[in-house]
Structure 1
Amino acid sequence: MVKVAIAGGSSPTLGHSVVSALLATNGRHTPIILSRKKADDGTTSSKDVWPVAGSSSSTAEVETRYVDYESDDSLVASLRDIDTVISVLLIHDTDTFVKTQIRLLHAAEAAGCRRFAPSEFAGTYDMHFKVDFDKMAKLPVWEAVLASKIDAAMFSSGMFMNYLGIGCPEKDGNRAEALAGFAEGPFLFNLVEGWVDMPVVEGDGASPALITMTNIRDIGRFVAAAIDLEQPWGKRELGMAGSTLRFDEMVPLIEKYTGRKMEIRPFTKKQLQERAANASEGVAGIIEHMECQLKTVCCEGGIPIEPTLNRLCPGVKPMTVEEFLRKYWAEPSGISV
C-alpha cells in the first residue's frame, strides 16, 4: 500500500480526479489530501466519505491533513509516512505559487518521500518560455525540482477536454459529468455560441496547428498508473493524451455531434500581438495577455503533447474527443450519428 499526498486534493477538478483514481486501485494506493489550515483550533486531520469510482454503493474514508504551507515543520510532519507527493495547487499569485510549491518539494525531501510531481497539467516544458505565467510560476518550480534529489515528473496533459462540455445538454447530471468540476469560460472553442477560433500557421511547409486534449477524469487515472510504474520517473515529462487533432479536424467532429454549424474565426500572430499591446488594465488585462500568448503558441504549431504515459500505461484507455462529444452532446440530445 502506497500513501500518496495530494496538495490541493480538495479541488473539484484535478484534486477530485486524482483522489478518485487512487481510491479505484483496490487498496494499492491510499490518497491523503493536504489542505490549508484555516483555523488554529488544534485540528490536524479529518476523514470524509468518498464514493469509489465504478460502484454505486461502495465508499471509502479519505483522510485530510491540515497543513500550514508557510511552515516547513508543518509540511514535513504531514509527509513523514508519504511515498509520493502530487501537487495540483492553483494559486493565482505567482510569487506565492512558486514559494509554496518549492517549500512543499523541500519538505517532501526532508520527510523521505520517494516521488514528487509539481502542479503542471497543461503544456510542455518548452511552453514555459513562451507564456509569461508559466515562465514566472512554473519554470522556477521545475528548476528547483531538477536541482533536488527526489525522483520527479512533469505531468503534461494539454488542454482540458472538458472545455468542450461547456453548455452541453443537461439530462440526468450529464453536464456535471462532462465538466468534472470545471467552471471556467470558453477558450478557443465555444460550442454554445457556435464558433471555433482557428490559428493561422504561416510559412512555407509549416506544420498544421495541433491540439492535445485530455479529460480531467482521465488525468487522475494516468497519475495513478504512473505511480504504479516500477521504473523511476527520472525527472521527465510524462505526457498524456486523450486525443491530438488538427484544429481543422476538430470542426467536423464538433458539427457532427452538436448538430450545428460552427463559425470559423481565424487569428494570426500579428493580430494577437496588436491585441496584447492594447490589453486592458488589471486582472482582465493579465488574462487577455495570457490568452494571446497561448493562441500565439497555437499559431506556431499548437499544443501537442507527447503521449509517453499512454505508451507506458496501456491499461489506461482515455476518452477521445469524438467519444466525449458523442456521450455529452449527441446522446443526451438524441442526435443520430
Structure 2
Amino acid sequence: MKIAIAGGTGQVAQEVINALVATQRYELLILSRSTNKQTPVVSGIVYRAVAYHDKQDLIEALRGVHTVLSFIQILSDDKQMAQKNLIDAAVQAGVKRFAPSEYGRRVQLDFHMSWWNGKIEIRQYLAEINRKETMLEYTLFQPGLFLEYLAFPHKTAKYLQPLQTVFDFDKCRAIVVQGHQDAVMSLTSVRDLAEIIAKTVELKGQWPVTFGVKANRLTFHDIVAIGERVRGRLFDVEHVEVEDLEAGNLKTSWSLEATHAAVSTEEAEKMLQQVAIGILLSCLGNAWDVGEEANKLFPEHAFVKAEDYLSAVWMNKP
C-alpha cells in the first residue's frame, strides 16, 4: 500500500512516519514544499517537492497513492488553499482515503481557539465534497492534548518538541477555572497516536469520520493530583473566572512562555495568552474529551498511562 504524507517534515508527521516505517508494510511518499541534500535515505521512502498551489502537480504526485495523511500547517494559510488543493487532487488522482491536519481536540466550533478555524474549514470542505456520494473517505484523528507537553521543558519524544500548558509540572503550578476542577482533558502520547494511525491505514471497512484516540481521560483535579504525587510537593493552583476569560483577560501571576515552530516569536507572544484562555474555556464545553474510536477498534493496544509516564519523566528532577 502506498501512503503519502503531506507536510512530512513536521514534528507529528515525523513521529507517524517512524511508526509506519517500523511496520515494514507500506511504501511512503513524503510531500513537502522543498527537499534538500540532508534528506535521509531510507528504504521504502520517496521524497518529493510539490507546489501546493499547483493542483496538476499534486495530481501527478498522488497517482497510485491509496491514503493521504496531511500534516500541513494551517496557521499560515488563511484560506486553507494548500489542503483544499490537496483534497481536490486526491479525488482526481483516485486516492481512497484522506486524513486532514487535525491531531487535537474533538469536532466542535472552535470559537475559543480561533487559530484552529482552519480545521473547521477543512472539515466542512470534506463534508461538502462527500455530500451526495463518497468521493473521498476521510477521518479526523483526535488524540486530545499530547502527554509529552506535560514534560515541558524536557523533550521525551524523538521529534515532538514539548510545549508549556496550563499544567506546569516544571514549576509545580496550574491554572484552573473556578468551580470547574472536574473539566476533562484527554491526554495521549504522540507515540500512541502514531502507532494507532499506522494500524488504521490498513483498517478494513469504512473509516469513521471522527477517530478519537483516548489514552487517558483525566479531570483538571486528577492532573494536579498526579503532578503533586510525581513532584512530591503541592502545586500552586491559580483559579480564574469564566467572565474574565470570556473578556480575554487571564488574571494570573504567570502565562505560557513556550513558542511553536509554526509561527514567529512575535506572533507566538501575542497568541500565548489566548492559547491558555482558549484551552481553559474549551474544556468547559468538553472539547478535549475526545471519542474512543481507537480504543474500541484496537482493544489490544497498550496505551501509555499518564502517571507512569510522568513519574518516569520527573523522577529525581529538582
1:179 is displaced (CA, Å) by 4.1
Q: Deviations over 1:40-75 (max 9, x none)?
A: xxx9xx97345xxxxxxxxx4522111111101111
| 2:9 aligned partner | 10
Helix, strand or coil at the partner of 1:187: coil
| 1:109 aligned partner | 91
Distance 1:267 1:247, change over 3 A: same
Query: Are 1:133 and 2:115 counterparts?
Result: yes
Segments of structure 2 that go 5 or more residues without pairing to the other structure are 130-134, 252-265
Is contact 2:51–2:57 with CA below 8 Å preserved after alignment?
yes
Q: Which amino acid aligns with 2:227?
A: I
Q: Which amino acid aligns with 1:214?
A: T
TM-score, normalising length from structure 2?
A: 0.85
1:191 is displaced (CA, Å) by 1.3
Is contact 1:201–1:209 with CA below 8 Å preserved after alignment?
no
| 1:36 aligned partner | 33
- Residues 304-323 of structure 1 aligned to structure 2 (within 5 Å): 304-323=289-308
Measured in 2, the distance between the counterparts of 1:245 and 1:231 equals: 31
User: What is the percent sequence identity of the aligned residues?
Assistant: 23
Measured in 1, the distance between the counterparts of 2:72 and 2:233 equals: 37
Measured in 2, the distance between the counterparts of 1:143 and 1:319 equals: 32
| 2:102 aligned partner | 120
Measured in 2, the distance between the counterparts of 1:288 and 1:213 equals: 21
Query: Are 1:160 and 2:146 counterparts?
Result: yes
1:277 is displaced (CA, Å) by 9.7
Query: Are 1:227 and 2:187 counterparts?
Result: no
Measured in 2, the distance between the counterparts of 1:167 and 1:80 equals: 42
1:258 is displaced (CA, Å) by 2.5
TM-score, normalising length from structure 1?
A: 0.81
Measured in 1, the distance between the counterparts of 2:232 and 2:304 equals: 21
| 1:90 aligned partner | 73
1:216 is displaced (CA, Å) by 1.2
Is contact 2:224–2:235 with CA below 8 Å preserved after alignment?
yes
| 1:142 aligned partner | 123
Is contact 1:210–1:298 with CA below 8 Å preserved after alignment?
yes
Is contact 1:5–1:31 with CA below 8 Å preserved after alignment?
yes
Measured in 1, the distance between the counterparts of 2:245 and 2:77 equals: 24
1:275 is displaced (CA, Å) by 3.4
Distance 1:47 1:277, change over 3 A: closer
Measured in 2, the distance between the counterparts of 1:249 and 1:240 equals: 19
1:130 is displaced (CA, Å) by 4.1
Measured in 2, the distance between the counterparts of 1:261 and 1:182 equals: 28
Distance 1:315 1:23, change over 3 A: farther
Query: Are 1:68 and 2:47 counterparts?
Result: no
Is contact 2:250–2:277 with CA below 8 Å preserved after alignment?
no
Q: Which amino acid aligns with 1:68?
A: A
1:314 is displaced (CA, Å) by 2.2
Is contact 1:215–1:242 with CA below 8 Å preserved after alignment?
yes
1:298 is displaced (CA, Å) by 2.0
Q: Deviations over 1:100-132 (max 9, x none)?
A: 111101111111000001000111111435432
CA RMSD of aligned residues (A): 2.6
**Which of 30, 52, 63 lines up with 1:80 in the alignment?**
63
Q: Which amino acid aligns with 1:128?
A: D
- Residues 294-333 of structure 1 aligned to structure 2 (within 5 Å): 294-301=279-286, 303-330=288-315, 333=316
Q: Quick check: which one's strand share is greater?
A: 1
**Which of 7, 12, 22 lines up with 1:24 in the alignment?**
22
Q: Which amino acid aligns with 1:189?
A: F
- Count of residue pairs the alignment pairs up: 298
1:201 is displaced (CA, Å) by 4.1
Helix, strand or coil at the partner of 2:110: helix
Q: Which amino acid aligns with 1:71?
A: D
Helix, strand or coil at the partner of 2:171: coil
1:251 is displaced (CA, Å) by 1.5
Segments of structure 1 that go 5 or more residues without pairing to the other structure are 51-59, 169-175
